[in-house]
Amino acid sequence: MVELQGIPVSPGVAIGPALVLDADGYRIPRTLIAADKAGEEYARLRSAVNAVAKQIEANRLETSAVAGDETGDIFSAQLQMLNDPRLNGELRRRITTDHHAAGYAVNRVLRNYALALRRLENPMLAERAEDVLDIEKQLLLQLGAVTEQPLTALTEPVVILSHNLSPSETANLDRRYVQGFCTEVGGSGGHTAIVAKGLELPAVVGVGTFLDSVVNGTRVIVDGDRGKIILDPDAITLASYKQRIEQSQTLSARLAELRDLPAETADGTRIRLSANIEFPHETGSCLERGADGIGLYRTEFLYLSSTEEPSEQDHYEAYSQVVNEMSGRPVVIRTLDLGADKMGHRPLAEQEYNPFLGLRSIRLSLRNLDLFRPQLRAILRAATHGDIRVMFPLITTIGELRQAKMLLTVVARDLKDEGIPHRADIPVGMMVEVPAAVVMLEHFVKEVDFLSIGTNDLAQYTLAVDRSNEYVADLYQSSDPAVLRLIRRGVDVADDWGRPLAVCGEMSSIPGRALLLVGLGVRNLSVPPLALSRIKKAIRSVSLSECQEIAERVMTLDSARDVDVYLLDRLGVLVPELVVT
Amino acid sequence: MNKNSPTRTVTVRNPEGLHARPADLLVRMASNYQSNILIGRDGELVDCKSILSLLTLGAAQGTVLTVSAEGSDAEEALNAIEDLFEAGFDDKNEAPGTESALDS
């Protein structure tokens, strides 16, 4: 039995056989061959190369016929790569002199070329790395060194162990079989973590290097509550985890009974408790748990989970589905938050040294109107079906806000001119997630109908911590007193101007922190569907004055650690059944 | 390569730099000759018949490259390569010297 510690990002426990992936979905072990088999192995490589060459040539002809010679020429370059004399010289040397198995040689040599291409400053050339990896994969398949992508051909329950999983890979995991996952890298605020929560998949990230020592099929426990990974657990550990799964099922059954009760404190202060979603199908689990609405619909997942760029109609259909299913409850649609760790289908920005300080979110939308316009049109069109509100992310300057609002007006006028049914008068809000916006909030608040604090980015930008970087993940705490002061200021300004303010970051989904927010004066919380019942339970178990006492005490503390210790202690007293042991 | 091998200087003129398509054309062209041909920036010369090596040069528009060839048809090879760079790899305009490369 081996126990490893990582960062818990999505709660729950998963038990199952390990499926180990490398960064690209497969893994080639270092395999050597006997010296007298080298000739035979090289011949095997040659016939694989010839077979792949035939495939590429067939692809070229087929693509040229459909898309024209220009596109077909992509394969001409691939063929040239496959026949590259340097490449073949190196493969031959590795097999005949170093006695590498053909698959291992292909993996090493082509990965090195791909790496060299990726390091180039020129993004267009860096993309050719994909061609090299494509050839690698085809050769490996020919050589029988890998089978088809294991993730798409699952037939049994598994726990995924991987160096990394991108948000889109996570979104595409087959929920019928994937029980949970664990990655070597990653931090608590990354989008992979958010997707895992959305999918209700227990997950632990940032474990550090450990995949080399794991064999496929090993029994693994992923403890998404405490951030532990247990490989090959002994009988006692296994039994205790199985018991925990049962207990949590009992707790969720009891929490489910809260569904039709309002989220109000014991002394009757009503808190609007909404849900954060990434996909339209999540409305089901929101309604099941009695959400008051959708407080944050992260629309960029429309881009990340499909293979083609979504059209205006795709946007419209997704939004209409959500608002129809939420039947009358408000749905806050956040406009595209692409960039940084969430990339769509095209390289929208050239390589950036500090992507989180770069062209992302509203900045990227305002620079790519062909992307932004269809979304805004779809939002206004879908608003005919119910209570849709639009929210712009990452607003930093007043100019950005005005530009975005102006575009919304222009789009509404276009729709009117075209005679397309829409609503032009929907509420417009902004995310408050950059310290600059908090500092200048008196100016912003006049020009919006509502505010929503995104604590993930606010913490990241206040604390100067890249939230997806595991080296500094421990510094990233939304309970940091600096972040809390900004939140309190946000609440004060919103109150002065009579504008509703919500907190939609991950912070609201942690029971102790949610009570703190209520104590600070927040009356709208938006949390992942999975957290709805727990947060409702927490709210219903306390009085407003208890929350206010918590807030008062917390604001005298000077470190995130002290805040968390205190909050956990209060939670233990006020709502003991929510404390994870 | 011999110090006395014939050498030329060429400039990448096409806006996209020495990306996949021009590199493909260049390799096809170079492969028509017996000579050993090297290309690159000073001190970083690579095999002109290897598309992967050409791509890893990462040569953007405006990059000046040195080409040298050694062998019986060295001069002809260099002439053809020079023409290809001069024409900016624009095969649509049937730049001189590219026909044979395209037919290969």
In this structure, are residues B85 and B10 in contact, taking their beta carbons and an 8 Å threshold?
A: yes
Inside any domain, residue B95: no
Inside any domain, residue A360: yes
In this structure, are residues A490 and A450 in contact, taking their beta carbons and an 8 Å threshold?
A: no
Please indicate whether, in this complex, the C-beta atoms of A84 and B17 are within 8 angstroms of each other: no
Report pLDDT for A306: 67
pLDDT tens sequence across A496-555: 999 999 999 889 999 999 999 999 999 999 999 988 999 999 999 999 999 999 999 999
The model's confidence at residue B34, banded by pLDDT at 50, 70 and 90, is very high
pLDDT tens sequence across A256-269: 888 889 999 999 99
Report pLDDT for B44: 82
Report pLDDT for A308: 74
Q: Is the pLDDT of residue A236 over 90?
A: yes
- Alpha-carbon span A138 to A48, nearest angstrom: 9
**DSSP-derived secondary structure letter, A339:** B
* Better-scored residue on pLDDT, B61 or A519: A519
Report pLDDT for A13: 94
Share of chain A above pLDDT 70, in %: 92
Q: Is A455 helix (H, G, I), strand (E, B) or coil?
A: helix
* A44 min Cα distance to partner chain B (Å): 23
Mean pLDDT of chain A: 88
Of B17, B24, B28, the CB nearest to A125: B17
The model's confidence at residue B102, banded by pLDDT at 50, 70 and 90, is very low
Q: Is the pLDDT of residue B96 over 60?
A: no
Tell me how far CA of residue B27 lies from CA of A54, A132, B31, B35, in angstroms. Answer: 20, 17, 6, 13
Inside any domain, residue A30: no
Same domain, A235 and A363: no
Contacts of residue A300, defined as CB under 8 A and 6 or more positions apart, other chains included, come to A336, A337, A338, A342, A344
Report pLDDT for A130: 74
- Alpha-carbon span A357 to A299, nearest angstrom: 21
Which H or E element spans position A47?
helix A38-67
Q: Which residue is it, tokens 């050339």?
A: A125
In this structure, are residues B87 and B95 in contact, taking their beta carbons and an 8 Å threshold?
A: yes
Residues of B in contact with A125 (CB under 8 A): 17-19, 55, 58
- Give how many domains chain B has, as a whole number: 1
B window 12-31, beta carbon within 8 A of A: 16-21, 23-24, 27-28
Same domain, A290 and A306: yes
- Alpha-carbon span A513 to B17, nearest angstrom: 53
Same domain, A136 and A169: no
- Give how many domains chain A has, as a whole number: 3
Same domain, A327 and A471: yes
Report pLDDT for A574: 94
Inside any domain, residue A308: yes
Same domain, A179 and A295: no
Report pLDDT for B3: 63
Q: Which residue is it, tokens 């080399």?
A: A212
Residues of B in contact with A80 (CB under 8 A): 23-24, 27-28, 51
In this structure, are residues A331 and A387 in contact, taking their beta carbons and an 8 Å threshold?
A: yes
A55-64, A288-297, A362-371: least confidently modelled range: A55-64
List the CATH number of the domain containing A389: 3.20.20.60
- Alpha-carbon span A552 to A554, nearest angstrom: 6
Please indicate whether, in this complex, the C-beta atoms of A128 and B24 are within 8 angstroms of each other: no
Share of chain B above pLDDT 70, in %: 84
Is A286 assigned a catalytic role?
no
Inside any domain, residue A159: yes
Report pLDDT for B98: 39
Tell me how far CA of residue A106 lies from CA of A28, A87, A93, A514, B57, in angstroms. Answer: 10, 9, 12, 52, 22
Inside any domain, residue B1: no
Asked which of A193, A224, A250 is the last residue of a domain, the reply is A250
pLDDT tens sequence across A214-233: 877 889 999 998 999 999 99
Same domain, A538 and A428: yes
Asked which of A216, A235, A250 is the last residue of a domain, the reply is A250
The model's confidence at residue B103, banded by pLDDT at 50, 70 and 90, is very low
Q: Is A138 helix (H, G, I), strand (E, B) or coil?
A: helix
Inside any domain, residue B103: no
The model's confidence at residue A242, banded by pLDDT at 50, 70 and 90, is very high
Q: Is the pLDDT of residue B97 over 50?
A: no
The model's confidence at residue A349, banded by pLDDT at 50, 70 and 90, is low
Same domain, A292 and A393: yes
Task: Average the pLDDT over B42-66 and give the result.
Answer: 89
**DSSP-derived secondary structure letter, A387:** -
List the CATH number of the domain containing A17: 3.50.30.10
Task: Average the pLDDT over A246-257 and give the result.
Answer: 83
Pairing of strands A331-334, A13-21: unpaired
Asked which of A85, A115, A143 is the last residue of a domain, the reply is A143
Task: Average the pLDDT over A315-340 and give the result.
Answer: 93
List the CATH number of the domain containing A121: 1.10.274.10
Q: Is the pLDDT of residue B99 over 60?
A: no
Strand order in the sheet with B64-70: B7-11, B64-70, B36-41, B44-47
Inside any domain, residue A264: yes
Inside any domain, residue B2: no
Which pTM does this prediction carry?
Answer: 0.61
Substitution target from A73, A76, A84, A88 for chain B, most B beta carbons within 10 A: A84
Range of the domain at A116: 35-143
Q: Is the pLDDT of residue B101 over 50?
A: no
In this structure, are residues A56 and A75 in contact, taking their beta carbons and an 8 Å threshold?
A: yes
Share of chain A above pLDDT 90, in %: 59
CA angle A431, A436, A442 (to 5 degrees): 75
Please indicate whether, in this complex, the C-beta atoms of B20 and A128 are within 8 angstroms of each other: yes
Nearest CA in chain B to A113: B52
Check A100, A191, A315, A385 and give the catalytic one: A191
- Alpha-carbon span A302 to A289, nearest angstrom: 24
List the CATH number of the domain containing B40: 3.30.1340.10
Alpha helix positions (H), A68-101 = 69-82, 85-96
Q: Is the pLDDT of residue A384 over 80?
A: yes
* A390 backbone dihedrals φ, ψ, rounded to 5°: -110, 145
A74-88, A155-169, A372-386, A390-404: least confidently modelled range: A155-169
Please indicate whether, in this complex, the C-beta atoms of B50 and A86 are within 8 angstroms of each other: yes
Contacts of residue A101, defined as CB under 8 A and 6 or more positions apart, other chains included, come to A31, A32, A33, A41, A95, A145
Is B37 assigned a catalytic role?
no
Substitution target from B25, B38, B51, B103 for chain A, most A beta carbons within 10 A: B51
Count of C-beta atoms within a 10 Å radius of residue A65: 10
Report pLDDT for A460: 94
Range of the domain at B21: 7-90
Report pLDDT for A347: 53
Q: Is the ipTM of this complex over 0.85?
A: no
Inside any domain, residue A570: yes
Same domain, A404 and A528: yes
Inside any domain, residue A148: no
Q: Is the pLDDT of residue A570 over 80?
A: yes
Same domain, A316 and A403: yes
Nearest residue to A396 (alpha-carbon basis) of A447, A442, A449, A441: A441
